[in-house]
Structure 1
Amino acid sequence: MKINDFTLIVGAAKCGTTSLFFYLSQHPQICPCKIKEPKFFSRDERWKKGFQWYQGLWNWDEQVHKTALEATPGYTDHFPITIEVVQRIASIDANFKFIYIMRNPLERIESALQHGYYQARVGKSGNGEDAFEHFLKSAIDKSKYAQKISEYYRQFPKEDILLLQLDDLKETPSAVMQQVCVFLGIDDSFEFTNLEKAHNKKNSYRTDTLWRKLTRMKRLQPMANLIPEQYKKQLRTYLSRPPRKAKDIPPTLTQKQKKEILRDLREDLHQLHWEYGVDVTRWGFEV
């Protein structure tokens, strides 16, 4: 099996990439990857498996599908990684289209901090302020949107790159999905459903919730199958609430920190607005 057409949702992290992936997966002409985030181009150990291994991650039907979809925000995480990822993609003899979705960088950074705290990657007792500052620096770097997408524009035609905003996906989801379909050259009359559902919410990736602990107990699985689906969903929501401890609560960004962040992002936001046509004034920023 050989797949020649791929659609990569390359970022940005915490900007709705998971929701966009699952929305698009509804389309009959799109073949979603078995692993939403394969990280093939960003992880050395996976890249070494070869392109044939990568192609095997889809249940591809050439009579039905027009493009193979995956979503790996790590393809635009940090600048050195982004350069290598783009070079690897460009070395493949296949057709690629890219979708990059953004949001207000201050909101993205605060969401990333919450993600880090909920995953216990920062903020645990003993980490201290240095760990927080290190995590914040990384979150700022990942919010330099223009820096990341510029590497894709250097290697690929601009008509193969689609820039989106999370606000539009939330406010006018049907219009955004139609825009994506036109971009991909697939049936844009297809009606997507459940576009109001946000995927990968903050508690979905925690491993310390009671729900996760119960699902790991194999002897309980037969009992779980007896629970009606509507009640199971309610039960999962309740049991997925994380234990609330003071150390789990990320600190709110201070006004001083916000000013420093915007100072660090000023040049990138200016480039994003004037060179790539992204209206950053919607986020309340002057250009």
Structure 2
Amino acid sequence: MLIIGAMKSGTTKLIHDLDCIPEICLSARKETNFFIKAIKEDRLSQTNESSLLAKYQNGWPSLNPLKHQYALEVSTSYAKVPVQPMAAGLIRRVSESTSSSFKVIYIPRIPIDAVSPFYRHAFTSYLAWARNHRIAVLSHDILSRHLLAIYSYAKQLEKFSSWLSRESLLLINFSMFTQAPAEIAREVARFLGLDSCFEFEDSGVRHSSDARLESYRDIAEYTLPPDLANWKLSSSQRETIIHLLREDIKRLREVYEFDTSEWTEFN
């Protein structure tokens, strides 16, 4: 089972919350990015799909077939086409060649709300990226094409929905997840055909760039904008996002029947 994103939409918390479901086994690493690495390293030229699946399964050393029904990982890079390779195509090949099944969870979030966390993450994770983009993004009304790709939700989902059945794809409302994480965990259990009467334990986990922001400020003030923690979109940047993503969000609503009624700027 895969949680493919979207980035900065609570995927870290969700995977840890789902650890309370007895039949689910979490991967040893949260983001294995296994299929992205396999594409970049051209592993299928060296092995077949069955061998690739076997290597993939090594990411769950604690998996107990007598207890667990699902192996779960989060790799948001699987939904970052074209900035990242199209992992969905390779996952499909492995699934069809080995008769293995995959289920996908995706958490859309109002794009404008995700942008500030996106930039804090990007600037504090990749200093070279920060050096190249700090002036362009923060001083001018330029937006990263990486960002616009990530938050083109319908476009990213198409890579999976083109071959997965609708019963194998679950979209989670980000607002509901933040307000009622226990109900979302039970919704996932029902989606997987598991007993939803387990005792929920809120993991309390949050993925934040704040700690990195403070540590990097000491060593790279020349790179990080001094007000990054409080940075917000300009009116021009907001208008650009709304204009460029409105049609994609319309498709998210109409094709995937996802409720965007609270996304007032896009309706």
Fold match (TM-score > 0.5): yes
C-alpha distance in structure 1 between counterparts of 2:41 and 2:23, whole Å: 27
- 1:76 partnered with 2:54: no
C-alpha distance in structure 1 between counterparts of 2:239 and 2:217, whole Å: 32
* Residue 236 of structure 2: aligned partner: 256
Q: Deviations over 1:100-126 (max 9, x none)?
A: 0111100112210111222335444x7
- 1:95 partnered with 2:108: no
**1:74 Cα deviation after fit:** 0.3
RMSD value, Cα? 2.5
**1:174 Cα deviation after fit:** 1.3
**1:283 Cα deviation after fit:** 2.0
C-alpha distance in structure 2 between counterparts of 1:172 and 1:127, whole Å: 36
Q: Check 1:165–1:72 CA distance in 2 against 1; reply closer, same or farther (3 A cut).
A: same
* Residue 146 of structure 1: aligned partner: 154
Q: Check 1:115–1:189 CA distance in 2 against 1; reply closer, same or farther (3 A cut).
A: same
- 1:15 partnered with 2:9: yes
C-alpha distance in structure 1 between counterparts of 2:137 and 2:32, whole Å: 28
Identity %: 24
Q: Which among 253, 263, 267 is matched to residue 283 of structure 1?
A: 263
TM-score after normalising by structure 2:
0.83
Q: Which among 183, 194, 202 is matched to residue 186 of structure 1?
A: 194
Q: Deviations over 1:116-167 (max 9, x none)?
A: 222335444x755346677622212210001110121111101000001221
Q: Deviations over 1:167-223 (max 9, x none)?
A: 11111111111100000122211122125x24211235x3973xxxxxxxxxxxxxx
C-alpha distance in structure 1 between counterparts of 2:114 and 2:213, whole Å: 23
Q: Between 275-284 and 62-71, report the one with greater CA deviation.
A: 275-284
- 1:267 partnered with 2:247: yes
Q: Which among 23, 28, 44 is matched to residue 34 of structure 1?
A: 28
TM-score after normalising by structure 1:
0.78
- Higher RCO, Cα 8 Å, sep 6+: 2
C-alpha distance in structure 2 between counterparts of 1:152 and 1:135, whole Å: 26
**1:252 Cα deviation after fit:** 2.1
Q: Deviations over 1:22-81 (max 9, x none)?
A: 111222211110111110111235672822111111121110001000000000012474
Structure number with greater Rg is: 1
Give ranges in structure 2 of 5+ residues lacking alignment: none
C-alpha distance in structure 2 between counterparts of 1:203 and 1:15, whole Å: 16
- 1:129 partnered with 2:107: no
* Residue 85 of structure 1: aligned partner: 87
* Runs of 4+ with >6 A deviation: none
* Residue 201 of structure 1: aligned partner: 208
Number of equivalent positions: 246
**1:11 Cα deviation after fit:** 0.8
C-alpha distance in structure 1 between counterparts of 2:67 and 2:170, whole Å: 23
